[in-house]
């Protein structure tokens, strides 16, 4: 079974621009979560989507948003980019309510904001 895939793997943007990152979960997984990883703050939870609905959100400004499609693929959008948004963005998928319910992570998208 294919793992979690994220596109693009690398992205360079300038301040003020917006960016959209994509995540395709493991086949059959209906929950997708997003995390931000930076050297200073470490790994921080952004939000979780399940069946196209956001059901949990971390402590990030409204510039960070996401959505999930009917095929469980998810996108994350960051508007008005700031230098501090430079990070590795990881998504994870899971199949809630099963014996194997665990978050499986993708390789990440490395975003650099200049």
Figure out which of the listed residues 58, 65, 75, 95 binds other proteins, where binding follows CB under 8 A: 58
By CB under 8 A, the residues from 60 to 89 that bind other proteins are none
Q: What is the bridge-based pairing of β-strands 109-113 and 10-13?
A: parallel
Q: How far apart are CA 89 and CA 99, in angstroms?
A: 27
Choice between 20 and 107, CB closer to other proteins: 107
CA distances from 20 to 17, 48, 89, 98, 100 (A): 10, 16, 11, 31, 30
Burial class (CB in 10 A: 0-12, 13-18, 19+), 44: middle
Tell me the closest approach of the beta carbon of residue 58 to other proteins, in angstroms: 7
Tell me the closest approach of the beta carbon of residue 3 to other proteins, in angstroms: 9
Choice between 79 and 105, CB closer to other proteins: 105
Figure out which of the listed residues 15, 55, 82, 114 binds other proteins, where binding follows CB under 8 A: 55
Question: Quick check: bond before 8 cis, omega within 30?
Answer: yes
The contact set with other proteins (CB under 8 A) reads 4, 6, 31, 33, 35, 42-45, 48, 50, 55-56, 58, 90, 92, 94, 96-97, 101-108
């Amino acid at each position: 079974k294919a793992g979690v895939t994220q596109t693009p793997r690398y992205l360079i943007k300038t301040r003020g621009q917006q960016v959209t990152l994509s995540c395709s979960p493991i086949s059959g997984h209906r929950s997708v979560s997003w995390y931000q990883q930076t050297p200073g703050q470490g790994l921080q939870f952004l939000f979780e989507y399940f069946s196209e609905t956001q059901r949990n959100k971390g402590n990030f400004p409204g510039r960070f948003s996401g959505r999930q499609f009917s095929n469980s693929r998810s996108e994350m959008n960051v508007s008005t980019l700031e230098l501090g948004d430079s990070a590795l963005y990881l998504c994870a998928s899971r199949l809630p309510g099963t014996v194997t319910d665990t978050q499986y992570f993708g390789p990440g998208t490395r975003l650099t904001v200049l």
